[in-house]
Amino acid sequence: MTPKTDHIQLSFLLGLISILFLSVPATALSGKPDEASNGSFADMATAQSREGLYISATFDSNGRLWRLIPTRNHMYVDYSDDFGQNYSKAVQINASSVKIKALAEDRPSIVVDKNGRIMIVYFTNDKQPWTSWFTFSDDHGQTFSTPTLISDHAATARHYQDQLFISPSDRLYHFWYDERNKHNAGKSGATLYFTTTTKPETLKFPNQPLKDSNCECCRMAIDSDIDGYPTIFSRFLLPGSIRDHGIMKVSPAGIISGPTRVTEDLWEIHACPEHGPSLSISENGRYHMTWFTQGSVRQGLFYAWSDQQGAKHSEPMQLGNPTALPSHAYVKALENRVAIIWKEFNGQKTEIKLIQSTDYGENWSSPSTIAESSSASDHPFLITTGKTIFLSWNSLDNGYQLITINPK
C-alpha cells in the first residue's frame, strides 16, 4: 500500500469529514472567485484546482512573508511586506506546464536562508506519480533556477513527503520518504532519506538513507534543537502494524540520536492515517510535541513535552472536544511561550482553536476560537518572525489568512 494510490481510508468520522471538505474545488488565495494574489496569476484557470488550497508560507530574516502557491499546472511565489495586507505580483516558477501534485499532508516546501536565498521543493506527475523538484532564487524571488531532481532514483522509485529545513548555521537539509528499498525482504513502510549541503547552487545532492519502516502517509515534523541539529518527530511503522511516534536527531553524517520511540498508544491499523505530528523546541531545549492517535491506550489529539529529547515525556494532555473531531494540531514555541492550534468541526463550520502557555508548557489558557470556515480548508500552521507567532491558514470561503497570535 502506498499513500499515492487509492487505499482504504480510516473508518472514523474524521476521515469522512476531511474527504467531504477536500472534494470542493478551491480558489483560495484571496477569497474572491475572480482574483488570486491581487490578480497577478497569468493562468487563472489553474487557480480553480484543489491544489491551490495548499499554500505554504514562511518569513525571511527581514520579516517578509513568502508564500508558495501550487496550481494545477504551475507553481508560484509571492510576498508581503505588511503581514498579508498586500502581496507582490506572483512569479511563476516552472516554465513548462506540468501536472502539479499537492495535498494538505504532502505539500510543497519553502525556506529562506539568512542571505535571502529562497529554496523550494514541489511535486509533479512525472515518470513516477510523485516526483520532487528543487529550485532556488538568488535575486529575491524575481527569477528561479531550472528545477532539478533530488532523488537519484526519481525515475524508478516513488518519493514524497519532502521537506526542506534550514539550520541556524544556514545549512540546507532536504528530507523525504523513498520507496526504492520497499520490496527488500523484511521492509515495510517507506525509508526516510535526506541530503544536505551548504552550497545548494551546485545542485549536488548525495542521497543518504536514515531509517526504514516509516508510516509513509503521515507528514513528519522537523525543528532545530538548541545544538543546531534538525530533530525529526514522525510516525513509525512498528511490528504488528503499530503506528506510533518516534524521534531522531540528524547531523550531516546521519543520525546522531535515536531513533527513539516516544508514544506508546498501540495504534494498530492497516491503512493510512494521513495525520502527521508537530514538534517545536523551546530555547531551553524542551521538546513540545502534538500527535493524533486511535490506539488501544488512548484516542484523540494530544500534547506532551520532554526535557530528555523524547526519551521520557510529560503525561499526554488531550486537546479539544472529542465530539468535535479535533485534528491537525500544530505547536510553536517562542522564548517561554508555547502556542497550540488545531481544527474542530461544530457540525456546520470548521473552527481553529488556540491555547497558549507562558511557562514552557506547564500551564495553559482555556481554548479560544481564532478563525473559522464553512468551506474546504487546509491544515492550519503556526509561523513566526522570531518575535511574533502567526496563524497561517487557507480556506475556500475566506482565502489565505495570516492572524497574529497575541500573548495571553
How far apart are the two ends of the chain, measured CA to CA in Å?
45
Strand order in the sheet with 317-319: 278-281, 287-294, 299-306, 317-319
Q: How many CB atoms lie within 10 A of CB 354?
A: 22
What is the pLDDT, as a whole number, of residue 184? 66
CA separation for the pair 214, 232 (Å, rounded): 12
- Give which of 234, 195, 190 is closest to 212, Cα–Cα: 190
pLDDT along the chain (408 residues), means of 10: 40 40 38 35 47 95 98 96 97 95 96 98 90 97 96 91 97 96 73 97 95 95 98 97 97 97 97 96 99 98 98 98 98 98 98 99 98 97 98 96 94
d(CA 72, CA 49): 6
Residue 183 region by backbone torsions, left for phi larger than 0, else alpha for psi between -120 and 50, else beta: alpha
Cα dihedral 366/231/218/174 (nearest 10): 130
User: Which pLDDT does position 382 carry in this prediction?
Assistant: 99
Given a contact cutoff of 8 angstroms between Cβ atoms, the answer to whether 226 and 283 are in contact is: yes
Q: Where are the beta strands (DSSP E) in 107-156?
A: 109-112, 118-124, 131-137, 148-149
Distance in angstroms (rounded) separating the CA atoms of residues 261 and 193 = 19
Residue 51, pLDDT score? 76
**Domains of the chain and any CATH numbers:** 51-214 (2.120.10.10)
Our CA dihedral for 376, 379, 384, 390, rounded to 10 degrees, sits at: 40
Partnered with residue 70 across adjacent β-strands are 75
Cα 267 to chain centroid distance, Å, stands at: 22
- pLDDT of 128: 85
Q: List b or e across 151-172, with b for residues whose CB sees 16 or more CB atoms inside 10 angstroms.
A: bebbeebbbbbbbbbbbeeebb
